[in-house]
Amino acid sequence: MMAQIPQNVQVIGEHAEALSFIHCDVFSSRPYSGNSLAVFPDRGALTASQMLAITQELRHFETIFLRRDGDYISARVFDLFEELPFAGHPIIGAAGTLHKLYGKTEPQTWTFKLIGDRIVNVVTYMDGNECYGRLDQGRPDFLAAPSGDHRALFAKAFGLSPQQLADLPLEVISTGLKYLVLPVRDGLETARVVRPDLEDLLAEIGAEYAYVVDVERLEGRHWNNDGVVEDVATGSAAGVVGAYALKHGLATSGQSFILKQGRFVGRPSEIHVTAYGAPDDVQRVEVAGAVAFVGDGRVQAP
């Protein structure tokens, strides 16, 4: 005999209001690669604690919750620990999702309002089922250039020797999040967070996170500060790398380069980065990539 659902149990789709989401992968044209993301096109009246709980339940690296707000799309981004003031791959994934949902064929521009009232624009393109988004991260802020003992300290914090660092400065740069760029010429394959107080060490130089980049291969790696989770493709850090690359002669103004990431966690990603301006005046950085669609679903609000 088929088991019966008790009358006092709410079933999504029958009695309880459900929230729909789209599952997509960003910075890859192929599903099940790139950086996975859940996009909630209409977050309704969800609170911050509810959005964080949903993010932790779905276990994507980040989840983005949207709502129409006049001329803007209000966007709130959460990782598994907290709400973020800015993130690259969720915003590009959200724009691509909206483009697909609205069924447009011509390029579209999406204007997002983030917490703190920051406004960013994404242009999306559709070619059949393939989607591509380009995010303007604006003018970068060059915040600090730690040297001396910090070079050895940060090399050691990632299991590297000072000799494995490239002959370029460490820099703290922000396009929304404050990243320390740790340039290496060797050792990207073995790099990992080995210092438990990395977050405190970063705070000493005014940084929130660190991004390790091989400046010859233009390939990077990024972890949560506790080193437990490695990110697949970090759009916010890619903008920082673009600014760094133009300043130090690794890139040319207006010419895109591909920043690779995710190979070491089995999800290869390609982030297209373009910086504009001059080495002594980086005016803005664009970060772009493909959005692949995996599926959709519904959840009941906590």
Single-letter amino acid code for the residue at 153: L
In a structure prediction context, what are the per-residue pLDDT tens digits for the chain, which is 302 residues long? 443 333 443 444 444 578 999 999 999 999 999 999 999 999 999 999 999 999 999 999 899 999 999 899 999 999 999 999 999 999 999 999 999 999 888 999 999 999 999 999 999 999 877 899 999 999 999 999 998 899 999 999 999 999 999 999 999 999 999 999 999 999 999 999 999 999 999 999 999 999 999 999 999 999 999 999 999 999 999 999 999 999 999 999 999 999 999 999 999 999 999 999 999 999 999 999 999 999 999 999 99
Strand partners, 134: 123, 288
Task: Answer whether residue 10 is part of any domain.
Answer: no
159 and 284 belong to one structural domain:
yes
| Nearest by Cα to 154 from 145, 243, 233, 61 | 145
Task: Give the angle subtended at the CA of 235 by the CAs of 103 and 203, to the nearest 5°.
Answer: 145
Specify the pairing of strand 108-113 against strand 281-300: unpaired
Helix axes 235-247, 88-102, angle to 10 degrees: 120
Task: Answer whether residue 259 is part of any domain.
Answer: yes
Q: How far apart are CA 10 and CA 225, in angstroms?
A: 39
Task: Answer whether residue 6 is part of any domain.
Answer: no
213 and 119 belong to one structural domain:
no
Task: Answer whether residue 3 is part of any domain.
Answer: no
Task: Answer whether residue 170 is part of any domain.
Answer: yes
104 and 205 belong to one structural domain:
no
Q: How far apart are CA 196 and CA 80, in angstroms?
A: 19
Q: What pLDDT was estimated at residue 130? A: 85
Q: 185: how many CB neighbours lie within 10 A of its CB?
A: 15
67: alpha, beta or left? (left if phi > 0; alpha if psi -120 to 50)? beta
| DSSP helix/strand/coil, 298 | strand
179: alpha, beta or left? (left if phi > 0; alpha if psi -120 to 50)? beta
The CATH number of residue 91's host domain is: 3.10.310.10
155 and 207 belong to one structural domain:
yes
111 and 210 belong to one structural domain:
no
255 and 160 belong to one structural domain:
yes
Task: Answer whether residue 181 is part of any domain.
Answer: yes
115 and 165 belong to one structural domain:
no
What are residue 63's phi and psi, to 5 degrees? -135, 145
153 and 247 belong to one structural domain:
yes
Q: Is 114 exposed, middle or buried (0-12, 13-18, 19+ CB in 10 A)?
A: buried
267 and 166 belong to one structural domain:
yes
Q: How far apart are CA 287 and CA 256, in angstroms?
A: 9
| Nearest by Cα to 42 from 11, 5, 68 | 68
150 and 34 belong to one structural domain:
no
Q: What pLDDT was estimated at residue 253? A: 98
User: What element of type H or E holds 302?
Assistant: none
162 is in which domain, residue-wise?
141-289
Q: What pLDDT was estimated at residue 63? A: 98
63 and 32 belong to one structural domain:
yes
157 and 280 belong to one structural domain:
yes
Q: 133: how many CB neighbours lie within 10 A of its CB?
A: 29
Task: Answer whether residue 1 is part of any domain.
Answer: no
Domain count, the chain: 2
Q: What pLDDT was estimated at residue 2? A: 40
Task: Answer whether residue 11 is part of any domain.
Answer: no
